[in-house]
Structure 1
Amino acid sequence: MIVYISGGARSGKSGFAQEMALKVSSAPVYVATAKVWDEDFAARVARHKRERGAEWTSIEAGADIHLQPIKNRVVVIDCVTLWLTNLFISYDEDIERTLAAFKAEIDGLMALEGTFIIISNEIGMGVHAATELGRKFTDLQGWANQYVASKAEEAIFMVSGLPLWLKKSN
């Protein structure tokens, strides 16, 4: 089962996803898709790790998430934006190849038993990107988000810490 949670920066996505995971599992998995690029980001990562309790298993994977040891687990994948960035760089900023690789990973997750709570940013709701590369990535992110949302059993949009259900499982 895929649960998709999107929203803007600091909208409460990660906290909500973690609470959701802890309601259904006493030993959830947290998959961090980020690569640590600088000291500021390293501090953010350290803070996030401290905020999660010892009950969490952490996996750092920038790609091939469906190949990680997550079958039959409750998993929070945080986040699509950084996951896509990793793929976008590895595919030389080729939107079509990146999107195909991302869709294949989502399809791989769907083939696994488990609950996968996938977090993403809605970057296309803000200011129009100033660069061609920024516009390409915004388009890529939008198409990737649409794909995950279409496959998800539940889709939730976070605004100011409040969840709005776009799609709810029965």
Structure 2
Amino acid sequence: MITFVLGGNKSGKSDFALNLLAECEEPGLFIATGKARDLEFREQIKRHRQTRSETIEVAEVSEDLPRMLRKASLTVRPLLVDSLDYWLFSCREAGCEEEKIQELIDVLEDWKDTDLILVSCETGLGPLPAGSGVRAFIRSLGALNQRVARIADQAFLVTAGLPLTLKQG
């Protein structure tokens, strides 16, 4: 089953996704896609590590997320990817955005029994910034989120720590 969790910055989406992972019968694998580029983000990663259960194994990946998901799906254990927005940013930086998005969609369309929780930032709730690069990223992430939501069995929007069911499977 694929579960898609959307939310804004500091909305509680990661905590909600971790709670979903904790409800699974098997120990989960947490796949982190963010790179610690500044002190604030390093602190956020540190806080996330402190709050995660010790039974959750952590793997880090950048643009090779589709390959990692294919490999991890063979273990038949729950997976949590946090988050697609950081992954997309890495793909844009590496110049392989379109190719990697299609690879990810192909993996998701073929997904079988393993529980997969995908987290992403909802970008469509505020004004668009003036910079064309940021606007292009927001449009690309919005399109990716829509494609993932169509494939997902269930989807949630988390705001102020409260989940709203968008799609129930």
Q: Normalising to structure 1: TM-score of the pair?
A: 0.90
Partner of 1:103: 102
* Corresponding residue to 2:72 among 63, 70, 73: 70
Segments of structure 2 that go 5 or more residues without pairing to the other structure are none
Task: Using the TM superposition, give the Cα deviation of residue 103 of structure 1 relative to its aligned residue in structure 2, in angstroms.
Answer: 3.0
String of CA shifts for 1:68-107, please: whole Å, max 9, x gaps. Answer: 242212111001110000001111xxxxx62442132132
Alignment RMSD: 1.5
Residue-pair matches, total: 164
Contact 1:2 1:110 in 2 (8 A): no
Quick one: distance in 2 between partners of 1:50 and 1:106?
A: 32
Partner of 1:117: 117
Q: 132-141 or 97-106: which moved more?
A: 97-106
Segments of 4+ moved more than 4 angstroms: none
Q: 65-74 or 28-37: which moved more?
A: 65-74
Quick one: distance in 2 between partners of 1:99 and 1:150?
A: 18
Quick one: distance in 2 between partners of 1:62 and 1:109?
A: 17
Segments of structure 1 that go 5 or more residues without pairing to the other structure are 92-96
Partner of 2:13: 13
Contact 1:8 1:159 in 2 (8 A): yes
Quick one: distance in 2 between partners of 1:120 and 1:103?
A: 17
Quick one: distance in 2 between partners of 1:55 and 1:158?
A: 25
Quick one: distance in 2 between partners of 1:152 and 1:100?
A: 20
Which letter maps to 2:82? D
Contact 2:62 2:90 in 1 (8 A): yes
